[in-house]
Amino acid sequence: MRTNAVQQTLFHAIMAALSAACLFPFILLFVVSFSDEQSIILNGYSLIPDSFSLEAYRYLWGQLTPLARAYGITVLITAVGTITGLLISSLLAYSLSRDEMPLRRVLSFLVVFTLLFNGGLVPTYLVYTEVFHLKNTLLALIVPGLLTNAFFILIIRTFFKMSIPGAVIESAYIDGASEWTIFSRIILPLSLPILATIGMMLTIAYWNDWFNGLIYITNPKLYSIQNLLNRMLSNIQFLMQNDLGGRSSESLAQMPMNAVRMAMAVIGILPILCIYPFFQKYLVKGLVIGAVKG
Amino acid sequence: MNQSRWRKFRKRVVRHRMLILMALPGLAYLVINNYLPMLGVTIAFKEIDYSRKGLFNLLFGHEWIGFKNFEYLFRTDDAYTITRNTILYNGLFIVLNTVVAIAVAIVLNEIRSRFMSRLYQSLILLPYLISMVIVGYLALSMLNVENGFMNKTILPLLGIDPVSWYSEPAYWPYILTFVNLWKNVGYLCIIYLAAIVGINHEYYEAAVIDGASKWQQITRITVPLIAPTITIMMLLAVGRIFYSDFGLFYQVPLNSGALKPTTDVIDTYVYRGLMTLGDIGMSSAAGLYQSAVGFVLILLSNWLVRRRSRDQALF
């Protein structure tokens, strides 16, 4: 019995150390954002600053207009992208799950093939900018991510096939239900767990996306929160330049640069951290089925 | 005969037109997002004329110049550097991440308290959820030359002089490997934990009766029984060894030119060629090189996966 207690303590110690290592940079970020700029310059970024200060957040409050706009854009593209992506994927997955679908095997292969080969960045960029003219439009933040992962389609298709008995669909069909009715009244309600899981993955992907903004958006007014963060990582003064609509009345020298930078990052992660505990269950499930294919 | 099959097919199409209609948005999207760019890879063999735009010109316009772009690419040292970096980094990531993730999953599985186990899981998964931009901020808070935690707190404790991290390429293989491990180990750990939880408990009960130690249980039962999952996860990763995590190599080194020798990979090279240098020829050649070799590797790994487990293969 004694060795068991020792073992448990050891295992807890290992996991506690690892968890602390994962958490540490976040805590540092958080503390620095509340630190007094003078004490940062004196002692560097520290977990125990000489004095705390809300100056960074007060400063960002003064830049509310560009921040609120970037936030709004992120929320908008996340909502529209997740819902549209989920709808398009599940519709395609439903068609491909039905044996009656003409050319089912060829079309399924077309979906799988996108996982094997891709045109790469340059042709994709040229298609979106020169053929569809998405550069500097909000669509550029939404469209490229819709079905990025064809894997999701395959996972949903497998779920439809495995967990919804063919007899249910058949009897609905005989009763005169249209495909759309079957899909929206029977399939979707029975598939809520998988849809929630995929929806969660899409939400995180859209919320965190900075790449599409990096290549398709040059107009700062269309920046999502991630793109704003991206620009401020290399240029902390970015918020006040470029006529973003922020107030630049305060002089640059008075800006608590270090703390502001970290406060921006805190604002960027806070929403994910807040919803994480409620969606952890779906997320973990999504990761597992995503890895070993449903 | 042929005609009657055609008529049957047509009847089927008409009868199930609703199903086809439902598939249409998704299929159209794949054509735009995936198949048009696939046809567009031909620009790697062309001299781009910027005045000619539109779909027709993308596919059929511009002057053919054969393999010239590839000749330029492979004549420089760049091709060697980015290929080496891509393969070495990804190879190292695959081995290290797998070993650490399995070790953590085994420890996590031993934790008796369900509440604590859930808490640890949430915490180590946290880095996986944030964007690489944020990771760039976190890395900066550690590595900033004047104020960073490394230079101001850790190195002074060890009596080491401050290091200007963002201009010393020699440290970056370690930094990037660590950041990658930090970000992804939680995710991999959850996958392996799911495999371990699926092991039948009777094996362990029988082993305990026979007097097996914890270490023996791990090496003789747990690891052999999750070996199929390990093999498949690793094969899938090897199939993607030519593609790197662009964010890791772009955001974390802050796109610093001085670090290029140890941080430049194919993805960052293609990006820089297209967006910063405007050298579309070279960039598209490097991109096609990546797609083509990547395609072969994915087919190969899929073939190996298929031989082990039909269900896990992509096709």
Q: Does A208 touch chain B (CB under 8 A)?
A: yes
**Whole-number Cα distances in Å, B273 to B266, B269, B277:** 10, 6, 5
Q: Does B304 touch chain A (CB under 8 A)?
A: no
Which residue do the tokens 């080491």 mark? Answer: B160
Report the candidate in A215, A81, A209 with the shortest Cα–Cα distance to residue A139. A81
CB contact under 8 A, A183 and B129: no
Report the amino acid identity of residue B243.
Y
Q: Does B61 touch chain A (CB under 8 A)?
A: no
Domain ranges, ordered by start, for chain B: 69-312
Contact list, B25 vs chain A (CB under 8 Å): 88, 91-92
Which domains are assigned to chain A? 55-292 (1.10.3720.10)
User: Which residues of A, range 48-87, sit inside 8 Å of B by Cβ?
Assistant: none
B137 vs A124, A214, A262: nearest CB: A262
Q: Does A196 touch chain B (CB under 8 A)?
A: no
Rounded CA-CA distance A86/A147 in Å is: 9
Q: What is the CATH number of domain B69-312?
A: 1.10.3720.10
Q: Which residues contact A153 (CB under 8 A, 6 or more apart)?
A: A89, A92, A93, A96, A111, A147, B26
Q: What is the ipTM of this complex?
A: 0.90
Rounded CA-CA distance B305/B232 in Å is: 6
Q: How far is B67 from chain A (nearest CA, A)?
A: 17
Rounded CA-CA distance A130/A121 in Å is: 14
pLDDT tens-place values along chain B, 315 residues long: 578 889 988 998 998 899 999 999 999 999 999 999 999 998 899 888 777 777 787 778 778 888 888 998 899 888 999 999 999 999 999 999 999 999 999 999 999 999 999 999 999 999 999 999 999 999 999 998 888 999 988 999 999 999 999 999 999 999 999 999 999 999 999 999 999 999 999 999 999 999 999 899 999 999 999 998 898 888 889 989 999 999 999 999 998 888 999 999 999 999 999 998 888 889 999 999 999 999 999 999 989 888 887 777 777
Q: Does A132 touch chain B (CB under 8 A)?
A: yes
Nearest residue of chain A to residue B40 (CA atoms): A123
User: Which residues of A, range 3-42, sit inside 8 Å of B by Cβ?
Assistant: 7-8, 11-12, 14-16, 18-19, 21-23, 25-26, 28-29, 32, 40-41
Q: Which residues contact A141 (CB under 8 A, 6 or more apart)?
A: A73, A77, A81, A209, A212, A213, A216, A217, A222, A224
Residue A292 has a pLDDT of 62
Q: Does B239 touch chain A (CB under 8 A)?
A: no
Rounded CA-CA distance A92/A114 in Å is: 14
Residue A83 has a pLDDT of 96
Best interface-test mutation with B: which of A10, A94, A112, A118 has the largest number of B CBs within 10 A? A118
CB contact under 8 A, A269 and B130: yes
Residue A206 has a pLDDT of 95
Beta bridge partners of B126: none
